[in-house]
Chain A
Amino acid sequence: MEWLRNLMLPAQGSAYAGEIDTVYMSLFWLSVVLFLGIAIPAVYFAWRYRYRPGRVTPHVTHNTVLEIVWSVLPLLLCVGIFFWGLKGWLEYAVAPGDAMEIQITARKWNWAFEYPDGSRDAGTLHVVVNKPVRLIMTSEDVIHDFFVPDMRVKHDIIPGRYTEEWFTPTVMGQHLFTCAEYCGKGHSDMHGTLIVESQQDFDNYIATGGTEWEAYKGHMADWGKIQWERKGCNSCHSIDGSRSKGPSWKGIWHKMEKMRDGQVVLVDEAYIKESENQPQAKIVEGFEPIMPTFQGLIKPHDFEGIVAFIQSLGTQQAQQAPQTQ
């Protein structure tokens, strides 16, 4: 029945997932049995007792024994299911004391993570294999929800409070996480990658922001593109010129960008830095001030990459720039 489970449920990324799946599959089989127990008689009776003119039907008004049986049996089943569900849930409800704590701040439509040592990142969450993690979550605006299908965990993230969820990842590699509470325009783009790695890789990542970027030395624009995806810039900025929640990055390098208040700003490294740290300082004309700040979330070489990436997307409009004051 392994194949059936794989057909129906996502890959298992935690020990807990296995337990939930057992409950799920049992409920599935129970439902199949109950369903057939109802559907088969319904169809069979319709055929077996199909209409014959003049046939007289028995006048049976009730049968107390039968009625008690079909009330009490389901009740017992339900009690059983309840306790089984409770058991699995209790495990999920209380995080172990030795769990690594990571703070999550959700906002439209992006995730910011803060690790125990205070280092921060956006969009991508790194955790250590076989080590419980406890997520302490809050929101800056509306309700979001941190859902990791492979771990079978999910919890709402509520402004003005801290909520929690935890899991123990057991499978190394990349897993999807996604926002599961409706939060507006970018709700369906609010996903990211959970990277489950060895303690060593994790420590390295915390200390240096990872060494991954070193492989991109010399072609930082590619690294920038990865950041564009990982940090969640892609949920608002396209790179093909199409308009999204934010301006496309295509062709903005060294463009004279017109702001809401009428001033015109040259898109250069400093301006990109400012957009990242204080996005509300200057608002591009025609857009809403919805970009969240990424202050402290972007490591220097990641920033370098983003700038290179934006540069690589073309500067064709630079010539027009001087016309304006």
Chain B
Amino acid sequence: MIEYQVQTMAAKVGDLPRPKKNYLNETKGFWSWAGTLDHKRIGVMYLVGTMFAFLLGGCFALLIRLTLLTPTHKLFGKVLIDAETYNRVFTMHGIIMVFLFIIPSVPAALGNFVMPLMLGAKDVAFPRLNLASFYLWVTGALMAITAMVLGAVDTGWTFYTPYSTTTDGPVTLMTGAAFVLGFSSIFTGLNFIATVHKLRAPGMGWFDMPLFVWGIYSTALIQILATPVLGITLVLLMLERNFGIGIFDPRIGGDPVLFQHFFWFYSHPAVYIMILPGMAIISELIPTFSHKTIFGYRAIAYSSVSLALVSFIVWGHHMFVAGQSQLATVVFSALTFLVAIPSGVKVFNWLGTMYKGNISLDTPMLYAIAFLILFTIGGLTGIFLGTLSTDVHLTDTYFVVAHFHFVMMGGTVTAFLGGLHYWWPKMTGRMYAEKWGRVACVMYTIGFNMTFLTQFFLGAKGMPRRYYNYLDQFQPLHAFSTVGSWVLGSSLFLTAAYLLASLRKPADAPDNPWGGTTLEWHCSSPPITHNFEEQPVVEREPYDYRPVKHA
């Protein structure tokens, strides 16, 4: 039955006889979704939720860019928004993108759907906990939206004290939302670790797992080890704000810098919660579309885990000029460079995989190539920031803004889009319009660079971040960046449009449209409720493209 067919985009109905019932149509009605324990349905619900968050965060982003079009913020003679509103807008943009969108998007949405399939399991280890995580996410989202309706907060996504303990607005509610979302993330991580440990298909050793699973596993490690610290930090912040507990308040002997240590102890590892799943997707896309086995499997697997571990000891690089001790500053800078090595290892291994491959440039692969380019820029500019003397000049400028959009958006979101297209046929049973996919991907890359490449120049020239007003000299670059954001935004709306349009067609996706070798391509598209007709047994390496046929 299992044959590694090599084909691109052949929109023909798949190899397996298509089962009448699949996870989408087996049961119907609102409650069959709201109460489902099926990891695939939970994944889909997460996907819908996080996409709404992305849309909302993206609209705030477009508003930021529109405001910064001119230094006077005037559009048709009217001031668009005032400084206070601007501060709220970028704070909401940051909070929504980080806590509601990017952290759950790949692991909880795509990971939930794909990982058990890849392991040949019927579900995650704790299906009920999985559903509970989802509802925690919903609760957090509702809290955040309530806070937004109540006037939103203007603390920045970093909640630095003492600003956050003294400013007006529903800061406690927003902090509470982040707290709840944190627990959602912890439970997802816990669930996934247990799943990987105990639910691998017979015959699947640790080094037979697809690299996506390694990436998600490493992510989960960070989720359970770092997020509790965020939890306690946010609790302290709430206590501080409402009861003056005084730990961060210099007037009664506290230390505002302590908050920053706590915050970054979580939030630096959190940036690897964001990128590792992205890298995990790329490690799937490149071998599949190169039709070639992954180069350096073990190196990539180990680099995921080592990134996860190293990420815990570099948080101080966010505080080089923030008043931590000078010794700490030096040590954190040195450690920061360590993360470049495993990241580089991955990049080089991906290139090694493409070398002498048989590369089909379908949309997911285009995104993977865009990822290689954008992430490298983002990562290399991280080196500018990790270098002590240059960071002093660059920190808290648009250079940092550009850096983190290159890694978060250019890295993770790009990979996410690649993954979304890659697994779309599996999830929905439908092929999307390939031509539009390629158009959107090219537009996305151009728009992205217009928006954010310019910001490196702004930042190096001395444009501080979180600025509502700016000097006239910066206007040309800001305006260019704004125009770029329209190109970028259009490409995403286009993507949403053709993906949604594909849902209206009858199911046409083959079981294995891309010729993938991992287990999720061995079940039907869309999969049946319990995933596999027969318990799969693993007999080959995960990315084996040698043309061996066996029954």
**In the complex, is A directly touching B at CB under 8 Å?**
yes
CB contact list, B219-239 vs A, under 8 A: none
What chain B residues lie within 8 Å of A78 (beta carbons)?
337-338, 340-341, 383
B197 CB–A CB distance under 8 Å: no
Distance from A242 Cβ to chain B, minimum over Cβ atoms (Å): 9
With A35-B380, A160-B250, A187-B466 as given contacts, are A149 and B360 in contact (CB-CB < 8 Å)?
no
Contact with B along A2-41 (1 / 0, CB 8 A): 0000011110000000011001100100010011001101
Output the nearest chain B residue to A157 by Cβ-Cβ distance. B323
Is there an interface contact between A82 and B387, defined as CB atoms closer than 8 Å?
yes
Interface hub of B341, B381, B471 (most chain A Cβ within 10 A): B341
Within 8 Å CB of A183, what residues of B? 163
Known: A10-B461, A70-B348. A156 touches B545 (CB 8 A): no
**A74-B340, A81-B337, A187-B467 given as contacts; is B166 within 8 A of A141 (CB)?**
yes
Residues of B within 8 A of A153 (CB): 392-393
* Residues from chain A with Cβ under 8 Å of B397 in the complex: 180
Quote the shortest CB–CB distance from A60 to chain B (angstroms): 6
Complex alpha-carbon distance, A228 and B389, angstroms: 35
Contact, CB under 8 Å: A158 / B257:
yes
A45–B369 alpha-carbon span in the complex (Å): 10
Q: What residues of A have a CB within 8 angstroms of the CB of B329 in the complex?
A: 89
Please, which residues of chain B bring their CB within 8 A of the CB of A82?
333-334, 337, 387
For B358, give its contact among A52, A141, A158 (CB under 8 Å).
Answer: A52
Contact with B along A125-160 (1 / 0, CB 8 A): 000000000000000011101010110111110111
B395 within 8 A of A: yes
Q: Check if A188 sits within 8 Å of B469, measured CB to CB.
A: yes
| Alpha-carbon separation in the docked complex, A181 to B157 (Å) | 13
Query: Is A171 engaged at the interface, CB distance under 8 Å to the other chain?
Result: no
User: Quick check: is A259 within 8 A (CB to CB) of the other chain?
Assistant: no
Inter-subunit contact A49/B355 (CB<8 Å): yes
CB pair A70 B295 closer than 8 Å? no
- The answer to whether B464 and A67 touch across the interface, beta carbons within 8 angstroms, is no
- List of A residues within 8 angstroms of B351 by Cβ: 38, 41-42, 45
CB of B126 closer than 8 Å to a CB of A: no
Contact A42 B469 (CB under 8 A): no
User: Which one of B30-38, B41-49, B208-216, B371-379 contacts A?
Assistant: B371-379
In-complex Cβ contact of B6 among A7, A24, A54, A184 (8 A): A54
Out of A10, A27, A43, A49, which one reaches B356, CB within 8 Å?
A49
Give A85 to B546 CA distance when docked, in angstroms. 48
Nearest chain-B residue to A187 (Cβ)?
B466
Q: Do the beta carbons of A189 and B469 come within 8 Å of each other?
A: yes
Q: Once bound together, how far apart are the Cα atoms of A10 and B463, in whole Å?
A: 10
| Most chain B beta-carbon contacts within 10 A, residue among A9, A50, A89, A150 | A89
Q: Name the interface residues of B328-348: CB closer than 8 Å to any CB of A.
A: 329-330, 333-334, 337-338, 340-341, 344-345, 347-348
Q: Is the CB of B341 within 8 A of A75?
A: yes
Contact with A42, one of B8, B340, B369, B393 (Cβ below 8 angstroms): B369
Q: Complex Cα distance A83/B156, Å?
A: 33
B25 contacts A by Cβ under 8 Å: no
Task: List A contacts of B470 (CB < 8 A).
Answer: 188
> Which residue of chain A lies nearest to B370 when distances are taken between CB atoms in the complex?
A42
A-facing mask of B488-505, CB < 8 A → 1, else 0? 000000000000000000
Q: Is A71's CB within 8 Å of the partner chain B?
A: yes
A178 within 8 A of B: yes
* Max chain A Cβ within 10 angstroms of own Cβ: one of B6, B357, B383, B390: B390
Q: How far is the CA of A68 from the CA of B294 in the complex (A)?
A: 17
Among B277-304, those with CB < 8 Å from A are: 290-299
**Residues on B with beta carbons closer than 8 Å to the beta carbon of A59:** 292-293, 544-546
A142 to B154, CA, bound (A): 14
Taking beta carbons and an 8 Å cutoff, which residues of A are in contact with B?
7-10, 19-20, 23-24, 27, 31, 34-35, 38-39, 41-43, 45-46, 49-63, 66-67, 70-71, 74-75, 78-79, 81-82, 84-89, 92-93, 141-143, 145, 147, 149-150, 152-156, 158-161, 163, 176, 178-189
10 more A-B contacts (CB under 8 A) besides A57-B293, A182-B156, A182-B160? A8-B460, A10-B461, A23-B390, A35-B380, A46-B361, A57-B357, A158-B256, A158-B323, A185-B154, A187-B466
5 tightest A-B CB contacts, nearest first: A160-B250, A88-B389, A149-B462, A85-B387, A89-B388
23 pairs, CB–CB < 8 Å, chain A vs chain B: A8-B461, A20-B393, A27-B383, A27-B387, A34-B376, A35-B380, A45-B351, A50-B359, A51-B8, A56-B545, A57-B545, A67-B296, A78-B338, A78-B340, A85-B391, A89-B388, A150-B462, A152-B393, A153-B393, A180-B395, A181-B396, A182-B156, A188-B468
